[in-house]
Chains A and B, each alone.
Chain A
Amino acid sequence: MKTWIKILLGLVVVGIIALLLVYKFVYNKQHPDYENLEPAFTVTAQDLYQAYKTNKEAASAKYNGKIIALTGKLSKMETADSLVTAVFVFNQGDFGDEGLRCTMLKKFNDAADKLQPDGEVKLKGYCTGYNETDVVLEKCSIINQ
């Protein structure tokens, strides 16, 4: 076989592999494994809520889109469809309770259902921001003490 054909074939193969890799790791890349991400911040539930309540802009810039580990006294658990939410209440406003709302990763739904109100819990989740009433964390997992 002529050398230039070999080179061409080699390039085609490399090209196909590159396309497959791009497809797998860029186009079709997985959502983050939220449960195993290292938290960027570790705070108390109360401090996190207060940070947003006192200065929304500063807190948004610091915490939005970050993985946050938090501890606090759980107020209640809520279930809506398949969504289980741990709620920490610190205030009352137009929407009733205000505070922190942490929706659990599905695999933690059962464990979260067993969390006791008034008990200290340690959670980790992805902070999506503050909607003027609550600070919202999603994809939460329970951190074992």
Chain B
Amino acid sequence: MSKSCIIFLLVFMTAFSAGAQKYITKTGHIKFYSDGQLEKIEAHNRQVNSVLDFSTGGFVFKVLMKSFEFEKALMQEHFNENYVESDKYPAATFVGKVTNIKDVNLLKDGMYDANVEGKMTMHGVTKDLTEKGTFEVKQGKIIGKAKFNIVVADYKITIPGNVGNNISKTIEITVDITLDKANM
């Protein structure tokens, strides 16, 4: 193969891989976990929307608060009515970027670090969020994972005094999403 041919191929492949490539899921999983003095509280949401624009690194999450499921019905009620006030603030969002998206090679299966920064909005409060996670490229899919803590008071979520000790002030969030290439 001539040199120019190879260069053309390389340019073509780069251009192709840099095109608008969106990876999406509508069934992402977010877990939150609080290790209080009296008991552990855990909730799962398996209806998480997320889109990753591979060409820019743009990364968005949309989470419906009422989709969080608790083991105890009472906790679920308190969570929705008293803490996150899901009637008033139905969704939490994250809008940001994977700053090192260029390091992720979609053509090579493997684990990659992902540095994510952006703004998270929950309970009507928007805060900057910078976290590290991982992307695993596997057979054309991207499996994103991250674990981080948030301070509930940062989002103006107040927990009444009598149960305050039972719920930890920070909540551990675990994100697990499998992004598929969007057919568009």
Residues of B within 8 A of A136 (CB): 47, 64, 67
The segment from A5-13, A37-45, A126-134 found at the interface with B is A126-134
Contact B73 A29 (CB under 8 A): yes
Residues of A within 8 A of B27 (CB): 78, 80-81, 83, 85
What is the chain B residue whose CB lies nearest that of A80? Answer: B27
Contact B74 A129 (CB under 8 A): no
Cβ proximity bits B15-27 to A, threshold 8 Å, 1 near / 0 not:
0000000101011
Cβ proximity bits B51-81 to A, threshold 8 Å, 1 near / 0 not:
1000000000011111100001110100010
Contact A128 B49 (CB under 8 A): no
Min CB–CB distance B85 → chain A (angstroms): 12
* B contact residues, total (Cβ < 8 Å): 26
Interface class of chain A by DSSP: mixed
Known: A27-B72, A80-B46; 4 extra A-B contacts, CB below 8 A, are A64-B86, A65-B80, A129-B64, A129-B67
- Chain A residues with a Cβ under 8 A of chain B: 26-32, 60-61, 64-65, 78, 80-81, 83, 85, 94-96, 101, 103, 126, 128-134, 136, 138
- Chain B residues with a Cβ under 8 A of chain A: 22, 24, 26-27, 46-47, 49, 51, 62-67, 72-74, 76, 80, 86-87, 90-91, 182-184
